[in-house]
A and B are shown apart, each in its own frame.
Chain A
Amino acid sequence: MEQKGPSGTVPQLGRIALKRVAVPRAQAAPPPPTRNALVAEPDKAVRKAVAAHLPRDRFQTWTFEDADSAYDHFGQNGVDLVILGRELPGMAGTVLAQLMRNSRKGSAVAILLMSPSYRDPYLGAGDCNAFGADAFLALPAAPDVLLARVEAALSKREPVARLDLLPKPLAEEIDRLYGDLEHLNYYDLLALPPDADADALQRRFHELSLQLHPDRHTRLRGRAPHVWEKINAVYKRLSEAYKVLVDPPRRRSYNLGLRRRGKLRLEKDPFSAREDRELALCETDDARRHVLESLELRSLGDLEGAGEAMARALAFEPDNEELGLVLSSIRKLLSIVERDG
């Protein structure tokens, strides 16, 4: 990247290399929205060049050379755009990007990840999105490429409410839900109390679907792809929440995980070594069939049914002690769950 000498000196504040670019406010015309930008990159030349190319009338830019100070600044200030180097002292840029993205303020910030193209050959085309990041910039890059990527990243995070595409309350609702997607449990997502019954769930889900189902927004697919993606992400999560809560065994299992471990989503464990092991214990196909059923019911949170299925498996192989042990462990778990209500 071509380096231009940035104006002003860079005051050294401890570890933090902080640079403030003065933004003169236009007096006559209404000022364009100024956004706060954060650049974290250990290579001084790259850092300075990137900061210098961000238009001063649009961005107030802060630069950092390591991950910790950048993250501190991010946590304490409102940041709209983050530009991260691939390798930062203290933390990989990819990890920092994820950390920022998953934080409370994370959903609204546009993140651009930079990397020398030789390091990430699969990113060579520059169109691959890194985890948590909205856009990727392969270095070296021309200034106009940098700005194009910045715009791409920003547009992905543009609040829907700022675009005149949907009725204001709906747009704000989309922004709110999308922003909080990783922080809301199923009940909060649907805005329902924990004792909501199946009928209340269905009515609420239908109301939400009329507003947020992607089929209601097909026009946006080509016109505003990032809004379309947000709506899809929100709707998929809403329907996941509804389908779990409306099914009693899965709801029990979800409630348990939520209460005990603060798990916001119900995740089905992948077919694990345990499952293969239990199946290997069987000598007959009949027993195997019932063990599979038992495993499936356990994955759905139905321990009672799982115990019954395991007992049926055992009926075909009454002398199989190992299977007997599995059954007693299911029953033990069931008694714990029942005791805990």
Chain B
Amino acid sequence: MAAIEHVIGIDLGTTNSVVATVLDGEVHVMPDEAGARLQASMVAFLEDGSVVVGNGARQEAVVDPLNTIYSAKRLIGRHYTSNEVKTALQQFPFKLVKGKNQVPLVEVRGERYGLPEISGMTLRRMKDIAERYLGQPVAQAVITVPANFNDTQRQMTKLAGHLAGLDVLRVINEPTAAALAYGYGRDIDARIAVYDFGGGTFDITILQVRGNVFEVVSTAGDTFLGGDDFDNRLARYMLLGFKQQHGFALDHDALAFSRLKQVAEKLKCELSVKDRAIVNVRELALDADGKPCDLRFQVDRASVDERCQDIVQRSFLVCDEALRGARMKAEDVDGVVLVGGTTRMPLVRQMVAEYFRREPLTDLNPDEVVAIGAAIQGASLVSDPFAKGAPAQPLLLDVTPMSLGVQTVSGYFDVLIPRNASIPCEQTRVFTTTVDDQTTVRLQIYQGESKVAADNTKLGEIELYGLRAAPRGEVEIEVVFEIDADGMVVVTARDRETGIEQATRINVAAGYSPDEVEAMIERGI
């Protein structure tokens, strides 16, 4: 008998990654050779040309920050001009350059790498850990992404898996994976809310779980709400402390503020386990006489909580929206699952419990819950549920988190597939020529919720070319916009009258051409 093929589930995190698989009906989180279940999502390029990936790269980040790449997930699939890349250019010690087609590239030791290559190295490391643990090669994987990842980010994540030598069976949303980890095998009939508060984004997903069916009823998010907001708030609090201590303000000192933000992040974590903390920052600024001033700041959790309550409150506005979409009230939720580092804050836990009027579920390790869900989904995708005696497998009914549409002549956003539409799904729309003998029609494809197309994320441009020459309005092109089970966009078009498939050219913004992908595969990672 041939060895059983294992599908691995990978939580490809911003900071850490986890890999899991199902063995004999049980989920195993697979540790590395040192016994570590969490791997740093970091890649260090050493002087001798070798590459260290995972926890081994962590110490390189301290001694050689220029050549150690981290947080690739924040940048993958983004435009070079996006806010995330701008922030990274200021904050990250490693070098980012602009590639073709608005793609950001990492430049390290004179070589340029795409973000999918960097993420691919982390995925390759997770694959190696799994192969060592299982004692056999692994070829198939399910990879998780944040619910708010757009089409480009998903495509690039899939490409990263491909570069790592993995057949990516599915890209699934992290909150959905978490719900699966909690609900699978418990035979429940319940409504579950997954409250996912990360470093830079917040999202909430509401699921109806019935036996083995996990239906995402609605999802909502705020891509500008996250742990960073607490850090900013704390840093400003420290500025206030500095003013009281030294009698002058530092409000416009960007350098001092960025130092304080780093301190604030540590302080936040400290206050999650202690009631009070003391911070010392040496030589934060110079006074009027040019004398260096230190900051000595003593703070207790209660006063920080008071100053940060409104940030948590903002997350509940998003929860309200998701509940409205699900036609539910907060108290209708039967279980709350917490995901993301920010949910470690006692303030967040307490306020979530008050909002939903129930204690959040915490019996699974929050670091591992997403990978566990991915592994369960992976096993389900390769099983035959109709075979005799097959164990019951879970089924995920997921939705698309963002509306998909095209730009109208006047610049507005014409929604084709609204957000929260269940996937896979499709929508057909007819486009026509506006000028006599027009032979091409261009469609600008966007994803987002703004009524103005330009305020959304541009996915790309579709060009219908080689149209038959005819008076304007006579050529009607039927375009089918499909969102597949991975949440990715597929577009096909055909001439309505002749029924002939219409040639299309898709230019993906911030994406790679087939040649570039080919080159990446050739080079290997």
Contact = CB atoms under 8 A, between A and B. Distances in A.
A276 B384 CA distance: 50
B501 A236 contact: no
A216 B385 CA distance: 6
Given A94-B498, A236-B424, A292-B412, 11 more contacts: A120-B498, A122-B503, A130-B500, A131-B500, A170-B386, A215-B395, A215-B396, A236-B425, A240-B425, A271-B414, A292-B451
Contact of B494 (A131, A166, A280): A131
Contact of B381 (A94, A97, A218, A296): A218
Interface string B290-307: 000000000000000000
6 contacts: A128-B500, A130-B499, A131-B494, A205-B215, A210-B212, A213-B395
A276 B408 contact: yes
A235 B408 CA distance: 30
A292 B327 CA distance: 23
Given A203-B210, A232-B424, A122 B501 contact: yes
A202 interface: yes
Contacts of B397: 206, 209, 213, 239
B422 interface: yes
For the complex of A and B, 8 pairs with smallest distance between CB atoms: A131-B499, A271-B414, A206-B213, A130-B499, A128-B501, A292-B451, A239-B422, A271-B408
B381 A236 contact: no
Contacts of A292: 412, 451
Contact of A206 (B210, B498, B500): B210
Nearest to A97: B499
Contacts of B424: 214, 232, 235-236, 239
A239 B466 CA distance: 35
B499 A94 contact: yes
Contacts of B380: 215
Interface centre among B382, B384, B427 (most CB of A within 10 A): B384
Contacts of A176: none
Interface string B198-220: 00000000001011110100000
Interface residues of A, number: 45
B63 interface: no
B393 to A, nearest CB: 8
A270 B409 contact: no
Contacts of B500: 120, 122-123, 128, 130-131
Contacts of B485: 214-215
Nearest to B407: A271
Nearest to A93: B499
A225 B168 CA distance: 19
B499 A209 contact: no
Contacts, number: 95
A270 B395 contact: no
A270 B410 contact: no
B501 A270 contact: no
Interface in B370-409: 380-382, 384-386, 395-397, 408-409
Interface string A116-128: 0000101100001
Contacts of A216: 385-386, 395
Contacts of A232: 424
Contacts of B89: none
Contacts of A219: 384
A56 interface: no
Contact of A167 (B213, B386, B410, B412): B386
B213 A209 contact: yes
A219 B380 CA distance: 12
Interface residues of B, number: 42
A28 to B, nearest CB: 36
B430 interface: yes
Interface string A187-219: 000000000001000110110011001111011
A254 B415 CA distance: 19
A132 interface: yes
B314 interface: no
Interface in B472-522: 485, 494, 496-501, 503
Interface in A67-118: 94, 97-98
Interface string A233-247: 001100110110000
Contacts of B386: 166-167, 170, 216
A135 interface: no
Nearest to A202: B208
A299 to B, nearest CB: 8
Contact of A276 (B382, B410, B415, B425): B410
A133 interface: yes
A292 B409 CA distance: 15
B490 to A, nearest CB: 11
Contacts of B381: 215, 218
Contacts of B210: 202-203, 206
Nearest to A101: B499
Contact of B215 (A128, A133, A202): A202
Contacts of A284: none
Contacts of A279: 410, 412
A240 to B, nearest CB: 7
The residue in B210, B215, B386 that gathers the most chain A C-beta atoms within 10 A of its C-beta is: B386
Given A167-B386, A206-B213, A239-B422, A132 B466 contact: no
A331 interface: no
Nearest to B430: A270
Contacts of A129: 501
Contacts of B430: 270
B285 interface: no
A271 B501 CA distance: 24
B421 interface: yes
A3 B220 CA distance: 65
A266 to B, nearest CB: 11
A289 interface: yes
Nearest to B377: A215
Given A216-B385, A218-B381, A236-B424, A270 B494 contact: no
A130 B499 CA distance: 5
Interface in B429-445: 429-430
Contacts of B169: 218
Contact of A236 (B385, B414, B426): B426
A50 B169 CA distance: 43
Nearest to A198: B327
A123 B466 CA distance: 12
